[in-house]
Chain A
Amino acid sequence: QVQLQESGPGLVKPSETLSLTCTVSGYSISSGYYWGWIRQPPGKGLEWIGNIYQSGSTYYNPSLKSRVTVSVDTSKNQVSLKLSPVTAADTAVYHCAGGVDMAVDYWGQGTLVTVSS
């Protein structure tokens, strides 16, 4: 059973860097699938952030592309997200996600990140 668990600071100051880690259990991320991040501002809808594929290729939401990096650490079976610089508009629940083909089969429970001074 594939499980995803996000971790990282719940509070980030404006203009700083948001860094989150997703630990994957039940599956080796180097074996395939794609991995990525999706966020949801409080009371609002889902927003796709970006994906990383087994090839190492990354694809990002055009509106975030200049600020975001998704990477993997296969030795730790982890997926990471970095977003910089952040503003209050980046306050959201951030979900780690994984999939086989063209849909998100696996979701983390999500972690709330608040951007505030």
Chain B
Amino acid sequence: QSALTQPASVSGSPGQSITISCTGTRSEVGGYNYVSWYQQHPGKAPKLMIYDVSKRPSGVSNRFSGSKSGNTASLTISGLQAEDEADYYCSSYTSSSTYVFGTGTKVTVL
């Protein structure tokens, strides 16, 4: 299984909104509503930010939202803050009952 495709980097100024894309195929992203997103700060374990495409775990800011269209899922961060600077990974369930991660996106707050 190949990694899902994400842009290597996305940047924005404080207060702005940014969107990270996650592109796969019908065998994973397009075939199931089981896309999740993780935030990882340097040297730390990843943290679940979005699951089931658009659901937020308790305690995650509502500035984070998820969506999906066809084979591409997206994570939007609105009201960008300095603390949002991190790496972000998408993940999807697959038709083989396995999981696959995205290539990762580095978010920079200018």
Residues of chain A having any CB pair with chain B under 8 Å: 38, 45-48, 51, 59-63, 95, 101-105, 107-110
Known: A95-B45, A107-B45, A107-B47. A48 touches B101 (CB 8 A): yes
Chain A residues with Cβ below 8 Å from B104 are 45-46
Chain A residues with Cβ below 8 Å from B98 are 48, 59-62
Residue total for B at the interface (Cβ-Cβ under 8 A)? 27
Chain A residues with Cβ below 8 Å from B89 are 45-46
Residues of chain B having any CB pair with chain A under 8 Å: 1, 3, 32, 34, 36, 38, 40, 44-48, 51-52, 57, 89, 91, 93, 96-104
Tell me the complex Cα distance, A46–B102, Å.
8
Chain A residues with Cβ below 8 Å from B96 are 59, 62
Contact of A47 among B32, B57, B101 (CB under 8 A): B101
Rank and list the top 9 A-B pairs by shortest CB-CB distance, nearest first.
A103-B51, A103-B36, A102-B34, A107-B45, A45-B104, A46-B101, A48-B99, A59-B97, A46-B89
Closest to A105 in B: B48
CB of B47 within 8 A of CB of A101, answer no
CB of B93 within 8 A of CB of A102, answer yes
Tell me the complex Cα distance, A108–B45, Å.
7
Tell me the complex Cα distance, A57–B1, Å.
20
17 of the cross-chain contacts (CB-CB < 8 Å) are A38-B101, A45-B3, A45-B103, A46-B38, A48-B100, A48-B101, A51-B99, A59-B98, A61-B98, A62-B98, A101-B52, A102-B51, A103-B48, A104-B38, A105-B57, A109-B44, A109-B45
